[in-house]
Every structure is written in structure tokens, then in C-alpha cells.
């Protein structure tokens, strides 16, 4: 269908109104620009995490160490001679797993804090700001599952809070939360003004160039 300039602008206006109506009706929970995720124990107990996963809309786990995720924590369970139990256990790709530091060799896979309290935390920082599709967490499997109630906070690159929620892995050993895919952005009114002025300017230029837009003879 051929469309004149005025008709085109009207169509854009109708499209904008429809998009605004859709955006207003949706109750979407989106997490755009996520740079890190922090978990704390919601209970006054040890923080133990077999694995913390954060997927983008391409299905990649951006929390995984091999994908650039860096895990840090306030403390780690003091095993002594064994290196296991550190924050890197929470994004090593091994889950679910037992915190079995008495085995030989030690079974890796679970982060375990040294202390129990609200100051204990585990943070995984992504290599780049990411739009997240879901977050999942695996708790401890060999004992003490009743500890695994987690408060989750997702931050942006400037430290702003993008999402807070609670995940409960006490009975199933696992919990997750999914987010909505962001809809295409609707331009601000100022942007629409600039676009319409731009279309008008293009029309003026076309009118001033008599040859513009004509097909050359074959």
C-alpha cells in the first residue's frame, strides 16, 4: 500500500497509542542491565549455595565462571587444608552437590559461609550488563537443607537495585524465578518530534531535487 506523508504520520500516531495501551496493561517484570546478583540467607543461619545461575534470553548462564562470572563472599567455611567451600563453588557448573569435605578427594561444588547472619553474602558479578530471563539457585544436598531460604537482590552497573525476591530451596533443593522479555522501547515525545521533523525535512529535500526518486531508463 502506498502511503503519503500525512497518512504515514497518522499511522505512527495510532501505533504509538496502541503500544502505550499495551504497555500500560502489562504487569511485566523485566530485569534490564543486570551486572550482579547477591544472595543472603533469609534465616539466621549459614549461607550455603551449590550453584547460582542467571540466564540471559539467549539461554546463556552469565553467572557461570567459564562465561565470565566472578563470585565473591564475605567469608568461607574454614576447612583448613582443603580449598573447597569458597565462593567459586557457587558458579563452577557443578550442581546439585554435597558439601562433603570429609571425602577423599574432597567433593567440590558448594559454597559455605563461615558465619551465620545477615552480614554474610554471596555475590556473582557478570562480565557485562545483561538482560536476564531467569535466576535459579541450588541449595545444599547432603544435610541442613532447612537453611536454604535465600533473599536475592539483582543490581545494575551503578549499584541500583533492579529486583529483589525470595527463593526457597529447602524442600526441593532448588528454586527459580523468571522475568519477562522487555518489549521494544516506545520513543519519548521529544524523539517523536525529532522523527517527524526529520521526515518533513526529507520531504523538502526530495521536492528540491527534481531527479530524486526517479528510475533511470534501462
Please give the residue ranges that form the binding site for Ca ion (CB under 5 A): 50-51, 89, 92, 94-95, 109
Closest CB 82 distance from Ca ion, rounded Å: 15
Closest CB 110 distance from Ca ion, rounded Å: 6
Q: How far is CA 90 from CA 20, 25, 36, 121, in A?
A: 41, 38, 14, 12
Question: Cβ closer to Ca ion: 46 or 162?
Answer: 46
* SS3 state of residue 109: coil
Q: How far is CA 172 from CA 101, 135, 145, 149, in A?
A: 23, 16, 9, 11
The label of the residue with cell 552469565 reads: 62
**Inter-residue contact 82 to 123 (CB < 8 Å):** no
Closest CB 93 distance from Ca ion, rounded Å: 7
Closest CB 91 distance from Ca ion, rounded Å: 7
Question: Cβ closer to Ca ion: 61 or 130?
Answer: 61
Question: Cβ closer to Ca ion: 136 or 162?
Answer: 136
Question: Cβ closer to Ca ion: 107 or 196?
Answer: 107
Closest CB 128 distance from Ca ion, rounded Å: 22
78: its cell numbers: 574454614
Q: How far is CA 25 from CA 21, 22, 28, 30, 173, in A?
A: 6, 5, 9, 15, 35
Classify burial at 131, counting beta carbons within 10 Å of its beta carbon; exposed 0-12, middle 13-18, buried 19 or more: middle
Classify burial at 181, counting beta carbons within 10 Å of its beta carbon; exposed 0-12, middle 13-18, buried 19 or more: exposed
Question: Cβ closer to Ca ion: 133 or 137?
Answer: 137
In the chain, DSSP assigns E strands to 31-41, 46-49, 51-56, 70-73, 111-116, 122-138, 149-156, 161-168, 174-178
Question: Cβ closer to Ca ion: 97 or 162?
Answer: 97
Question: Cβ closer to Ca ion: 110 or 154?
Answer: 110
Closest CB 152 distance from Ca ion, rounded Å: 17
Closest CB 92 distance from Ca ion, rounded Å: 5
Amino acid at each position: 500500500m502506498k502511503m503519503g506523508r500525512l497518512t504515514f504520520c497518522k499511522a505512527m500516531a495510532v501505533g504509538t497509542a496502541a503500544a502505550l495501551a499495551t504497555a500500560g496493561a502489562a504487569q511485566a517484570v523485566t530485569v534490564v542491565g543486570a551486572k550482579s546478583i547477591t544472595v543472603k540467607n533469609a534465616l539466621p543461619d549459614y549461607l550455603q549455595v551449590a550453584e547460582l545461575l542467571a540466564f540471559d534470553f539467549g539461554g546463556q548462564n552469565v553467572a557461570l565462571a567459564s562465561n565470565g562470572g566472578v563470585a565473591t563472599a564475605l567469608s568461607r567455611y574454614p576447612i583448613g587444608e582443603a580449598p573447597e567451600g569458597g565462593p567459586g563453588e557457587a558458579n563452577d557448573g557443578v550442581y546439585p552437590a554435597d558439601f562433603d569435605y570429609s571425602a577423599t578427594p574432597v567433593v567440590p561444588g558448594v559454597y559455605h559461609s563461615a558465619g551465620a547472619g545477615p552480614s554474610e553474602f554471596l555475590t556473582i558479578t557478570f562480565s557485562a550488563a545483561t538482560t536476564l530471563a531467569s535466576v535459579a539457585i541450588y541449595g545444599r544436598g547432603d544435610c541442613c537443607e532447612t537453611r536454604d531460604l535465600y533473599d536475592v537482590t539483582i543490581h545494575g552497573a551503578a549499584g541500583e537495585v533492579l529486583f529483589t525476591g525470595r527463593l526457597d530451596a529447602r524442600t526441593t533443593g532448588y528454586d527459580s524465578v523468571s522475568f519477562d522479555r522487555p518489549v521494544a522501547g516506545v520513543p519519548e515525545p521529544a524523539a517523536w518530534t525529532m522523527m517527524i521533523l526529520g521526515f518533513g525535512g526529507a520531504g523538502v529535500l526530495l521536492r528540491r531535487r527534481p531527479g530524486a526518486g526517479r528510475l533511470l531508463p534501462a
